[in-house]
């Protein structure tokens, strides 16, 4: 019994830590600048429009912030960061990227998904990418300051919504940089995880814990008819951010039945309850939401960032290969690039010399993340072909053990050979100091 309790605490602690890290990692860690410092710098170099309600086809308005270089003349390319998280006031990574974008001559747009913060409507995971995403691109392309070309950017949820949109090949969607986008995949090739809801057909507990923090059916909202100027004024001193009661996940994660994990906390029925009632990974209902399925085609050049220490590296690389071979848009399929780092979820900008992941030292894992992102956008949004030459390797990956970056034109690499590994034990594999081995 003691061994079982220790095991329970270890697994519960891990799930709780992962759940805490996922939403925080999506914004990235702060640089040496404070959030106030980042915002002050952005205000110094950019003209801003805040809390603009961009109309969707059903009349719902999505709260949108736009930053453009001060004094800019002519049409601007645009980078769109769409998010369910509290980034109405730019913070962390989104603030740094907004500064980088403006300094490089881009408009930078941050939009909250429907049902989140200042956006109207009801929340749905990934935010209706094929309708709300399409309508947002239409709106950006129609602005007098827009050159009609939009690049989508983001990590985790801010990347996952991009996938289903890419299937539509919107004329303004010129390029995309999806980072750690596995939870946007419904089915691809061998994998049918339905947005990380399943692992091998079994519901993944991490998903429910994440939903507790993101889904908020009792959220506070502004009056739906509040006009733009007043909405922007309220946004200056209220972020509508809900702080939910803390949960001892190390203990509560063992609650049974799993279908009542959140309702047993007093949460009203919401997204998790609707999904757990579905009839497994093959339920046709999974085809109706915002997930990407490999029957949908592909239409946008992409620079993918993935990592070995993430929950969906298998589906991510499967999708990269699928996008290269989809054949629905020859130019898009010919311009798929992927970077695979040794970092945890969304921690790409932390890669550097003497890098340690968990307890493992992997040496110099430095990679020019921001430089590659902007070079890719310069290529596709500004037409600067030399910025990101076609000779760039299609696959760049960090090999742990050799502890170095390598490159190839395909995945798996041409020199790779299958190796079958076998599990062995003398009877004590399933314990902290067990004798399990390969």
Q: Please report how the helices 2-27 and 205-214 are oriented relative to each other, as an axis angle in degrees rounded to 10.
A: 50
This prediction's pTM: 0.89
Reported as type and span, the H/E element at residue 213 is: helix 205-214
Structure confidence at residue 33 (pLDDT): 64
In a domain, 431, yes or no: no
Q: With cut-offs at 50, 70 and 90, classify the pLDDT of residue 14.
A: very low
3-state secondary structure of 178: strand
Quote the pLDDT of residue 372.
98
pLDDT at 37: 85
Domain count, the chain: 1
Separation between Cα atoms, residue 84 and residue 156, nearest integer Å: 10
* pLDDT of res. 108: 97
Instruction: Please indicate, yes or no, if residue 428 is contained in any of the structural domains.
Output: no
pLDDT at 26 over 70: no
Select from 13, 11, 21 the least CA-distant residue to 343: 21
Domain limits at 280? 2-408
In the chain, pLDDT over 90 holds for what percent of residues? Answer: 71
Tell me if 231 is assigned to some domain.
Answer: yes
Q: Are strands 173-179 and 198-199 parallel, antiparallel or unpaired?
A: unpaired
Structural domain includes residue 415: no
- pLDDT score, position 160: 96
> What SS3 state is found at 341?
strand
pLDDT digits (tens, 9 = 90+) for 318-340: 999 999 999 899 999 999 999 99
Q: Sorting pLDDT into bands at 50, 70 and 90, what band is 150? A: very high
Q: Which residues pair with 47 in a beta bridge?
A: 68
Does residue 426 sit within a domain? no
DSSP E strands, 192-245: 198-199, 202-203
Q: What value does the mean pLDDT of the chain take? A: 89
d(CA 382, CA 400): 36
CATH number of 345's domain: 3.40.50.1820
What is the distance of C-alpha 233 from the center of its chain? 29
| 413 within a domain of the structure (yes/no) | no
Residue 436 in any domain: the answer is no
Question: Quick check: is 432 in a domain?
Answer: no
pLDDT in tens, 65-105: 999 999 998 999 999 999 998 887 777 888 899 999 999 99
Q: Residues 156, 160, 166, 171: what is their CA dihedral angle, to the nearest 10 degrees?
A: -70
Selection from 47-51, 84-88, 217-221 with the highest mean pLDDT = 47-51
Residue 215 pLDDT level (bands cut at 50, 70, 90): confident
Dihedral angle of Cα 25, 84, 180, 172, to the nearest 10 degrees: -130
């Amino acid at each position: 019994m003691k061994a079982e309790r220790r095991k329970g605490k270890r697994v519960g602690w891990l799930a709780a830590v992962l759940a805490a890290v996922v939403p925080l990692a999506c914004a990235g860690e702060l640089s040496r600048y404070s959030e106030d410092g980042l915002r002050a710098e952005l205000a110094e170099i950019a003209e801003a429009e805040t809390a603009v309600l961009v109309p969707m086809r059903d009349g719902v308005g999505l709260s949108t912030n736009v930053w453009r270089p001060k004094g800019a003349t002519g049409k601007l390319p645009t980078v769109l960061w769409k998010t369910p998280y509290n980034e109405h006031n730019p913070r962390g990574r989104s603030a740094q990227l907004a500064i980088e974008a403006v300094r490089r001559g881009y408009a930078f747009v941050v939009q909250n998904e429907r049902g989140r913060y200042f956006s109207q409507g009801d929340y749905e995971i990934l935010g209706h990418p094929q309708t709300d995403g399409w309508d947002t691109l239409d709106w950006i392309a129609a602005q007098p300051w827009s050159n009609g070309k939009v690049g989508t950017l983001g990590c985790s949820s801010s990347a996952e919504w991009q996938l289903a949109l890419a299937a539509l090949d919107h004329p303004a969607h010129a390029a995309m940089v999806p980072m750690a986008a596995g939870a946007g995949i419904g089915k691809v090739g061998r994998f049918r995880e339905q947005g990380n809801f399943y692992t091998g057909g079994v519901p993944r507990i991490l998903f429910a814990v994440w939903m507790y923090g993101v889904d908020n059916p009792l959220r506070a909202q502004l009056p739906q008819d509040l006009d733009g100027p007043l909405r922007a004024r309220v946004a200056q001193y209220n972020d509508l951010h809900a702080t939910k009661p803390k949960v001892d996940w190390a203990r509560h994660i063992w609650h049974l039945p799993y279908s009542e994990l959140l309702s047993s906390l007093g949460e009203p029925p919401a997204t998790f309850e609707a999904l757990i009632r579905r009839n497994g990974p093959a339920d046709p209902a999974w085809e109706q939401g915002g997930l990407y399925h490999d029957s949908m085609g592909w239409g946008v050049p992409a620079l993918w960032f993935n990592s070995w220490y993430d929950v969906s590296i298998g589906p991510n690389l499967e999708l990269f290969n699928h996008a290269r071979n989809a054949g629905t848009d020859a130019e898009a399929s010919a311009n798929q690039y992927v970077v695979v780092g040794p970092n945890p979820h969304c921690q790409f900008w932390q890669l550097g010399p003497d890098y340690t992941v968990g307890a493992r030292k992997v040496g110099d894992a430095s990679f020019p993340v921001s430089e590659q992102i902007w070079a890719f956008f310069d290529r596709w949004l500004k037409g600067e072909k030399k910025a990101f030459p076609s000779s760039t390797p299609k696959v760049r990956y960090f090999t742990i053990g050799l502890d170095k970056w390598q490159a190839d034109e395909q995945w798996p690499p041409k020199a790779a050979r299958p190796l079958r590994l076998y599990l062995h034990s003398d009877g004590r594999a399933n314990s902290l100091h067990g004798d399990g081995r390969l």
